[in-house]
Amino acid sequence: MLVEMAVAAIRASRLTKDYGSGHGLFDLDLQVSPQEVFGFLGPNGAGKTTTIRLLMGLIHPTSGGAYVFGLDSGRDAVEVKRRVGYLPGDVPEFGSLRGSEVVAYLGGMRGRIDRPTVRALAERFDLDLNRRFREYSSGNKQKLAIVLAFMHRPELLILDEPTSGLDPLNQQEFYALLQETRDAGATIFLSSHVLSEVERVCDRVGILRSGRLVKVAQLDELRHIRVHQVEIEFAPGSEVPESRLRSTLGLEDVKVDGNVVTCSVHGSFDGLLHAIAGSKVTNLVSTEPSLEELFLSFFDEPRPKALPS
């Protein structure tokens, strides 16, 4: 009996795109399984969009190969794109076309338009398709791009920073849509530079730095990477639990200035909450560091001039 092995939704084999001067993508080996939500994380210029364009067959690799459902994304580009929904990093200009016409135009290229799905997506994101593209705000343009990527219910979604420009409510709606799409059997590959976003929606995360994949992590591992800068203000006259804070695992760089404490929280907040339990806290501010700062602390990268020491 012949046992058919599951073909990877995405496979990159020593995939390289060299733009010169150290820019591009180098020796990417990656595999994404069907029905997986894979996040591609990296700061600006790390090579996320280059990877996505290579997967879409829009640019040609310098060496190596990119495969989607076992098909060569360059040679079999048309067949690949039949099975893929794509959301580009920058929504292109459609000038005076109405949203409904953009949908019909690009949907027409696929041969048919799944009208109920289009309607459901437009309603879900409260997108008026009767407006002209040039009248759309940047958020509405992004919503239209989401409709275009999801409207034919593809097996694989390749999304380049899909939540950029969306307000928080629509971001939540988008995360819910991702969940439903994955539950319906689709594979999702998305790029982001927001750690909490990929942590929220992805099963696995690839971390890209200067064109090279530095880590592929499961969600649990990602939580160890996660760092928050916290500032806690205690009520005037109340006791600051300094010794408990300093002895709590996962809290680092604890500094006390009067009734204000600052520290870094690595991973879970449980330890911090336990340490301050019973104290009168008047204010607590938690800030997620930028990816640049995260890379500096986690991967011990050289510090750019723009960042404070």
Total binding residues toward another protein, as defined by CB under 8 A: 50
Site for another protein in 97-126 (CB under 8 A): 97-98, 100-101, 103-113, 115, 118-119, 122-123
Tell whether residue 20 is a contact of another protein (CB under 8 A): no
From 218, 200, 190, 224, select the one nearest 38 (Cα to Cα): 190
Stretch that binds another protein, among 92-100, 213-221, 262-270, 278-286 (CB under 8 A): 92-100
Q: What share of the chain is helix, strand, coil (3-state, %, to 5)?
A: 35, 30, 35
From 35, 144, 15, 139, select the one nearest 87 (Cα to Cα): 144
Cβ 201 to another protein shortest distance, Å: 21
The DSSP output letter for 10 is E
Beta carbon nearer to another protein, 58 or 214? 58
**Pairing label, strands 251-257, 260-266:** antiparallel
Tell whether residue 93 is a contact of another protein (CB under 8 A): yes
Cβ 77 to another protein shortest distance, Å: 7
User: Cα(123)–Cα(285) distance, rounded to whole angstroms?
Assistant: 35
Beta carbon nearer to another protein, 148 or 225? 148
Site for another protein in 44-73 (CB under 8 A): 50, 53, 56-60
From 175, 183, 265, select the one nearest 224 (Cα to Cα): 265
Beta carbon nearer to another protein, 52 or 232? 52
Stretch that binds another protein, among 93-101, 183-191, 243-251, 271-279 (CB under 8 A): 93-101
User: Cα(79)–Cα(6) distance, rounded to whole angstroms?
Assistant: 18
**What residues have CB less than 8 Å from 47, skipping those under 6 apart?**
17, 24, 25, 208, 210, 211, 212
Cβ 82 to another protein shortest distance, Å: 4
Beta carbon nearer to another protein, 157 or 265? 157
Total Cβ atoms within 10 A of residue 48 = 23
Tell whether residue 141 is a contact of another protein (CB under 8 A): no
250 to each of 215, 247, 276, how far by Cα in Å? 22, 9, 14
Tell whether residue 128 is a contact of another protein (CB under 8 A): yes
Cβ(230)–Cβ(248) under 8 Å? no
Site for another protein in 68-87 (CB under 8 A): 77-79, 81-82, 84, 86
Residues that bind another protein (CB under 8 A): 19, 50, 53, 56-60, 77-79, 81-82, 84, 86, 88, 90-98, 100-101, 103-113, 115, 118-119, 122-123, 127-131, 134, 148
